[in-house]
């Protein structure tokens, strides 16, 4: 039985730029970084060291060579926040591309994009 989301695989063109985006603009922490010595490098990031779910940044080109049939499109990620307005303001001030705040039946939501135009969503959870 599956009990939680453990890791989310995100396939990026530039791992170093992706790490900078997630750590400098969103405040994530690098949990681990590994390299198999054959060009395959993966970097695990999370909102904090104790987070139950993390994101693993994979090199899109390397993964495509290893697994040609794999869909390397952006996964659908939904983040939760307790203060949507503050987060929206913080990201906007850091020149992150953000969408409009939308009222949904389950709460207020907005989208944001990273430097490679991958889109993510944030929902206010109180």
pLDDT at 25: 97
**Beta-carbon count within 10 A of 122 CB:** 23
Task: Please determine, for residue 3, whether its predicted confidence score (pLDDT) is greater than 90.
Answer: no
**pTM of the shown model:** 0.78
Residues 107-117 as b or e (16 or more Cβ within 10 Å = b): eebbebebeee
The token pair that represents 97 in the structure block: 């591309």
For 13-31, write each residue's pLDDT tens digit.
Answer: 999 999 999 999 999 999 9
Confidence of residue 40 (pLDDT cuts 50, 70, 90): confident
pLDDT at 107: 85
* Strand partners of residue 58: 11, 42
Task: Please determine, for residue 126, whether its predicted confidence score (pLDDT) is greater than 90.
Answer: no
């Amino acid at each position: 039985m599956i009990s939680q989301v453990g890791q989310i695989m995100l396939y990026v063109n530039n791992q170093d730029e992706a790490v900078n985006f997630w750590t400098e603009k969103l405040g994530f922490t690098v949990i681990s970084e590994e390299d198999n010595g054959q060009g395959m490098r993966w970097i695990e990031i999370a909102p904090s060291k104790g987070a139950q779910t993390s994101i693993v940044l994979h090199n899109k080109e390397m993964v495509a060579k290893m697994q040609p049939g794999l869909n390397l499109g952006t996964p659908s990620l939904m983040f939760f926040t307790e203060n949507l307005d503050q987060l929206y303001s913080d990201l906007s001030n850091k020149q992150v591309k953000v969408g409009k705040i939308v009222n949904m039946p389950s709460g207020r939501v907005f989208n944001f994009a990273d430097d490679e135009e991958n889109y993510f969503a944030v929902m206010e959870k109180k």
